[in-house]
Amino acid sequence: MAQQANHPLPTGFRLEEYVIERQLSLGGFSIVYLATDAADKPVAIKEYLPNSLALRTEGGITPVISQEHLGAFRYGMKCFFEEGRSLAKLSHPNVVRVLNFFRANETVYMVMQYEQGRTLQEFITKHKNHISERFIRGVFTRLLNGLREVHSNMLLHLDIKPSNIYLRTDNSPVLIDFGAARQTLMNDQPILKPMYTPGFASPEHYGARKEMGPWSDIYSIGATMYACLAGSPPQPADARQQRDELVPAMLRWEGQYSDQLLEIIDWCLNLNHLYRPQSVLSLQKTLVTPATPPAPREEERPAENWIGRLVDKLRTK
């Protein structure tokens, strides 16, 4: 089915006690707005509006849903509402704060604390190939604090990627835009296609959903750290399962970052979920351990291709 573009609610529209200021982002699953609350403080509001199921024309308020898609739309709305209920229980500086959630206009809205800053994706684009190890360790150690809180509440994020990590002006990270409800949708409603992001989604995202767990989010953490160094996502997991052409971090950036950081990234990116860190805590303990600075790079390497270099590196250990 061809994807359609949904129009946002108009500026100045009153939604319960909130007033819409402008659209912040538009995705296949939702629209996010900047709004003000009753005290005139800024908030972000996410509206459930999957463009494969519902259409809102310009100037419209209530989405148009065909009878064919009504069941899937309502099921997704229920999941979105439950996601809001779950997230509202979380209160952690490194997880998006859900302030309110309600039904209106035949759909559901999630009101979140508005943060000043930019996404990690925007930071990567601006500082491509110049992101320090100190920055990576600082951001991801704090991010993992938030992810531990998520997992301790029996939730998974399932859509961790640079554009879903928000950096405040002091570079403290916030996990945003959870994908858990979308994955729930996939179990019974095949019309709602997967919303995962190739390169950041774990192998389990591509079919083995019963094997999903904390290690699935940890794969995405590794992929996001890899993207910080590469400036672009790693090879998608489904393609890697067919023919793994991903150059390990410990070879690609040898001598530029500590061996410990590069090995952590490769550990997280293992295709077999049993060989990844099984909990955020075990990953975090390794990440906060002081690392040995990278040794000076040799002028020449006897093995030119990365497989040869890997063998060469293992022999010297």
Q: Are residues 141 and 273 in the same domain?
A: yes
69 within domain boundaries:
yes
Provide the 3-class DSSP secondary structure of residue 113: strand
Backbone angles phi, psi at 198, to 5 degrees: -55, 135
Q: Could you tell me if 162 and 32 lie in one domain?
A: no
Measured in degrees and rounded to the nearest 5, phi and psi for residue 58 equal -60, 130
Residue 280, in any domain of the structure: yes
State the CB neighbour count (10 A cutoff) for residue 121: 17
Residue 40 lies in a domain: yes
Same domain, 207 and 158: yes
Q: What is the pLDDT of residue 301?
A: 44
- CATH number at 238 reads 1.10.510.10
Q: Quick one: pLDDT at residue 59?
A: 87
Q: Domain holding 28: CATH number?
A: 3.30.200.20
Residue 186 and residue 298 in one domain: yes
**DSSP letter for each residue of 263-301:** HHHHHHT-SSGGGS-SSHHHHHHHHTSPPPPPPPPPS--
**Which residues are 249's β-sheet partners?**
none
To the nearest 10 degrees (0 to 180), the angle between helices 280-287 and 214-230 is 30
Q: Do 28 and 94 sit in the same domain of this protein?
A: yes
In a domain, 269, yes or no: yes
My answer on whether 47 and 130 are in the same domain is no
Neighbours of 282 (CB within 10 A): 14
What pLDDT, on a 0 to 100 scale, did the predictor assign at position 82? 82
Domain that holds residue 31: 16-113
What is residue 118's predicted lDDT score, i.e. its pLDDT? 95
Whether the CB-CB separation of 137 and 283 falls below 8 Å is answered with no
Whether 301 and 218 share a structural domain: yes
Q: Does residue 4 belong to any structural domain of this protein?
A: no
The verdict on residue 45 lying in a domain is: yes
Looking at residue 93, its pLDDT comes to 97
Q: Are residues 71 and 169 located together in one domain of the fold?
A: no
b/e per residue 30-39 (b: at least 16 CB within 10 A):
bbbbbbebee
The answer to whether residues 272 and 139 belong to one domain is: yes
What phi and psi, each to the nearest 5 degrees, are found at residue 60?
Answer: -80, 160
The answer to whether residues 160 and 289 belong to one domain is: yes
Same domain, 195 and 149: yes
Does 2 fall in a domain? no
Is there a contact between 271 and 244 (Cβ–Cβ < 8 Å)? yes
Q: Does residue 5 sit within a domain?
A: no
- For the chain, the domain total comes to 2
Q: At what angle do helices 180-188 and 67-88 cross, to 10 degrees?
A: 140
Question: Which of 113, 144, 165 is where one domain is finished?
Answer: 113
Q: Which residues of the chain have pLDDT under 70?
A: 1-4, 179-195, 293-317
Angle at 29 between CA 28 and CA 34, to 5 degrees: 100
pTM here? 0.83
Domain boundary among 63, 78, 113: 113
Domain termination residue (choose one: 113, 129, 158): 113
- Tokens 């993207």 correspond to 227
Tracing tokens 């912040």 back to the chain, one arrives at 24
Asked if 108 and 48 touch (Cβ cutoff 8 Å), the reply is yes
Q: Are 238 and 155 found together in one domain?
A: yes
Query: Residue 160's closest CA among 221, 93, 237, 86?
Result: 221
